[in-house]
């Protein structure tokens, strides 16, 4: 195939031969066997040699190799887990190493098994005729030159018919345990208790660790702020400190979760997942079940200022095809979000907040993905207000203030921003004259407001007014910043009255 990187494959031929038919231990007819050695081709553009190795091992028919890069073949231009022998998708160069570290750490410390992990990276050097030459990327070699080289290579093969058999693995890794993981006890909060959702995450993670030895956690040197340290204190042998290297942390978490060996949770400030976005994008292609938890979202963190404020994260994670986006508003819903995330296929993102807010749900409240909660309603409601996290509490304060003035508003907590509970939102909008206000501690683009707009977009007669952070913020007290950017209770009251005026 003219665009299939043949030189990248040729440069790895000897290594692949030795690895697959001398060094590695695996069952060629069962590529996902938990005891198999793992091989990650981090230089994913050399996919044809990976496919050739598995054909030589007997897992792929040799004739199938001729379907490389065709639309009806799983032998894609770069490897993906559509193929049983691929654990993580590669092709965004360098990422295979972090995933391999996660897999190797899991093998050594969690599985305590003897399987090994091999990762091949490329350096783009040593093809002397084109090394350092401009304008060679993606260019096929001239056909006559290629035929000369193939003839030369074939003449050097000394035992073309020698049968090759991989070494079998030590069967010392247990089969994957896929039983659901549930909290052993209900949340231990009472309505009115004050606790931040970031701290509730730490408590919930520790409880999930109590419930199953499969739950593991990692953090980017922010464990005292994300509260993953609560898990670390209880389960130190299942916590990985990844330091200030968020890209690597995400890849390690993806690696830990491969073959369902663990249920991995990685946490840092939500803003710092932005630098790992390529790794998160690749996690979707890898069919990963990794769970990512971002704290310190929005202007409500206060004095630390805009470098620490996640204001783009909802947009970022909503755009990932396999991602469920949780935005819990109190400690009880946070605990249930963590429990749900541990059991959902695909990537999960949980957005947690810094301020201590009141618990609004009973400990026995049930939560589901894609199901919103109507937390305030009456027959006289005239506007639907949708808030999440900190802004839900601002909406509740606005509700109480407006009630004193004889105005009733309905309040919705979406719980998951993706999938969004469109039916509850549309029904509430219809019940309140088609008037909807969204309020979010996030930029206007790609956040809660736009999610609601897309949910009601084809519904006639519904008007959505969006309150969101409009420009790059600054340091200040949390309440001052909520007021400054028009997402506080005061701003909601004004917006509701403006809606009536119109």
Predicted confidence (pLDDT) per residue in 306-342, tens digit:
999 999 999 999 999 999 999 999 999 999 999 999 9
Q: Which residues in 19-46 are b (16+ Cβ under 10 Å) and which e? A: bbbeebebbbeebebbbbbbbbbbbbbb
**Confidence label for 224 from pLDDT (cuts 50, 70 and 90):** very high
Q: Return contacts of 362-365, CB within 8 angstroms, 24+ apart.
A: 362/191, 362/332, 363/186, 363/187, 363/188, 363/189, 363/190, 363/332, 364/186, 365/332, 365/333, 365/336
Contact 86, 20 (CB under 8 A): no
pLDDT > 70 fraction of the chain, expressed in percent and rounded = 96
Chain centre to alpha carbon of residue 107? 22
Q: Which residues in 386-406 are b (16+ Cβ under 10 Å) and which e? A: bbbbbbbbbbbebbeebeeee
CA dist., res. 356 & res. 390, Å (int): 9
Q: Report pLDDT for 2.
A: 64
Rounded to 5 degrees, what angle do the CA atoms 174, 175, 181 make?
A: 100
Contact 212, 181 (CB under 8 A): yes
Angle separating helix axes 390-404 and 489-501, nearest 10 degrees: 60
H/E element holding 187?
A: none
Q: Report pLDDT for 48.
A: 97
- Given a cut of 90, is residue 164 above it in pLDDT? no
**Confidence label for 154 from pLDDT (cuts 50, 70 and 90):** confident
CA dist., res. 106 & res. 98, Å (int): 12
Given 56, 62, 171, 246, which residue is catalytic?
Answer: 246
Q: Report pLDDT for 327.
A: 99
Compute φ and ψ for 29, nearest 5 degrees: -90, 0
Residues contacting residue 351 through CB under 8 Å, at least 6 positions apart: 270, 294, 297, 310, 313, 314, 325, 326, 327, 328, 389, 417
Q: Report pLDDT for 266.
A: 99
Six-digit token string for 242? 């990844």
CA dist., res. 242 & res. 175, Å (int): 27
CA atoms within 13 Å, Cβ hemisphere of 316: 24
Contact 381, 437 (CB under 8 A): no
CATH of domain 6-156: 3.40.50.970
**Confidence label for 139 from pLDDT (cuts 50, 70 and 90):** confident
pTM: 0.95
Predicted confidence (pLDDT) per residue in 181-223, tens digit:
999 999 999 999 999 999 999 999 999 999 999 999 999 999 9
CA dist., res. 191 & res. 47, Å (int): 55
Query: What value does the mean pLDDT of the chain take?
Result: 96
- Given a cut of 60, is residue 125 above it in pLDDT? no
pLDDT > 90 fraction of the chain, expressed in percent and rounded = 88
CATH class of residue range 373-501: alpha beta
CATH superfamily of 194-358: Thiamin diphosphate (ThDP)-binding fold, Pyr/PP domains (3.40.50.970)
Predicted confidence (pLDDT) per residue in 61-71, tens digit:
999 999 999 99
The residue ranges of DSSP E strands in 233-390, in sequence order, are 239-241, 263-269, 291-295, 323-326, 347-351, 357-358, 373-376, 383-387
**343 or 146: which leads in pLDDT:** 343
Six-digit token string for 402? 């407006």
Residues contacting residue 88 through CB under 8 Å, at least 6 positions apart: 40, 81, 95, 96, 99, 254, 255, 258, 282, 286, 288
Predicted confidence (pLDDT) per residue in 257-290, tens digit:
999 999 999 999 999 999 999 999 999 999 999 9
H/E element holding 40?
A: strand 38-41
- Given a cut of 60, is residue 501 above it in pLDDT? yes
Residues in the chain: 502
**95 or 134: which leads in pLDDT:** 95
Report the candidate in 59, 265, 260, 87 with the shortest Cα–Cα distance to residue 174.
260
Q: Report pLDDT for 157.
A: 83
To which residue do tokens 């600054």 refer?
474
Mean pLDDT confidence for 448-458: 97
Is there a catalytic annotation at residue 246? yes
H/E element holding 435?
A: strand 435-443
Q: Report pLDDT for 132.
A: 64
Rounded to 5 degrees, what angle do the CA atoms 264, 323, 109 make?
A: 10
H-only helix segments in 94-195: 95-105, 143-156
- Given a cut of 60, is residue 126 above it in pLDDT? no
Six-digit token string for 70? 């065709």
Question: What ranges do the domains of the chain cover?
Answer: 6-156, 194-358, 373-501
Contact 418, 451 (CB under 8 A): yes
Angstrom distances, CA of residue 348 to CA of 235, 288, 322, 323: 22, 10, 8, 5
CA atoms within 13 Å, Cβ hemisphere of 67: 11
Rounded to 5 degrees, what angle do the CA atoms 303, 309, 314 make?
A: 155
To which residue do tokens 């840092």 refer?
268
């Amino acid at each position: 195939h003219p665009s299939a990187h043949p030189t990248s494959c040729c440069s790895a031929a000897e290594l692949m031969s030795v690895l697959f038919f001398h060094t590695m231990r695996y069952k060629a007819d069962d590529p996902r066997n938990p005891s198999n050695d793992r091989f990650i081709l981090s230089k994913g553009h050399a996919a044809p040699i990976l496919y050739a190795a598995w054909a030589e091992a007997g897992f792929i028919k040799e004739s199938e190799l001729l379907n490389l890069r065709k639309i009806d073949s799983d032998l894609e231009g770069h490897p993906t887990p559509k193929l049983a022998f691929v654990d993580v998708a590669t092709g965004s160069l360098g990422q295979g190493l972090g995933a391999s570290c996660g897999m190797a750490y899991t093998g050594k410390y969690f599985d305590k098994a003897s399987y090994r992990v091999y990762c091949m990276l490329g350096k783009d050097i040593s093809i002397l005729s084109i090394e350092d030459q401009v304008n060679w990327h993606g260019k096929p070699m001239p056909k006559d030159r290629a035929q000369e080289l193939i003839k030369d290579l074939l003449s050097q093969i000394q035992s073309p018919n020698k049968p090759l058999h991989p070494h079998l693995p030590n069967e010392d890794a247990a089969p994957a345990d896929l039983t659901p993981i549930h909290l052993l006890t209900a949340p231990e909060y009472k309505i009115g208790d004050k606790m931040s959702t970031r701290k509730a995450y730490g408590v919930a993670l520790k409880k999930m660790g109590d419930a199953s030895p499969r739950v593991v956690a990692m953090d980017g040197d922010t464990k005292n702020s994300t509260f993953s340290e609560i898990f670390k204190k209880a389960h130190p042998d299942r916590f990985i400190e990844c330091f200030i290297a968020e890209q690597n942390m995400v890849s390690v978490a993806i690696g830990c979760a491969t073959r369902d060996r663990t249920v991995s949770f990685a946490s840092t400030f939500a803003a710092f997942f932005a630098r790992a976005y390529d790794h998160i994008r690749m996690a979707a292609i890898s069919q990963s079940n990794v769970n990512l938890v971002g704290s310190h979202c929005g202007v409500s963190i206060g004095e630390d200022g805009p470098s620490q404020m996640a204001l783009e994260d909802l947009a970022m994670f909503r755009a990932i095809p396999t991602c469920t986006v949780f935005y819990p508003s109190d400690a009880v819903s946070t605990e249930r979000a963590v429990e749900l995330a541990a059991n959902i296929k695909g990537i999960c993102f949980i957005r947690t907040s810094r301020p201590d807010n009141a618990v609004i749900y009973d400990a026995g409240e049930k939560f589901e993905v894609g199901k919103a909660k109507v937390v305030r309603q009456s027959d006289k409601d005239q506007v639907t207000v949708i808030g999440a996290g900190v802004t839900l509490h601002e909406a509740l304060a606005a509700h109480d203030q407006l009630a004193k003035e004889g105005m009733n508003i309905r309040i919705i907590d979406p719980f998951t921003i993706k999938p969004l509970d469109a039916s509850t939102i549309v029904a509430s909008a219809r019940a309140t004259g088609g008037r909807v206000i969204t309020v979010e501690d996030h930029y206007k683009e790609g956040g809660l407001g736009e999610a609601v707009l897309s949910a009601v977009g084809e519904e006639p007669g519904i008007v959505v007014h969006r309150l969101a952070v409009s420009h790059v913020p600054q340091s200040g007290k949390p309440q001052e910043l909520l007021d400054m950017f028009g997402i506080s209770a005061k701003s909601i009251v004004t917006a509701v009255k403006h809606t009536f005026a119109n």
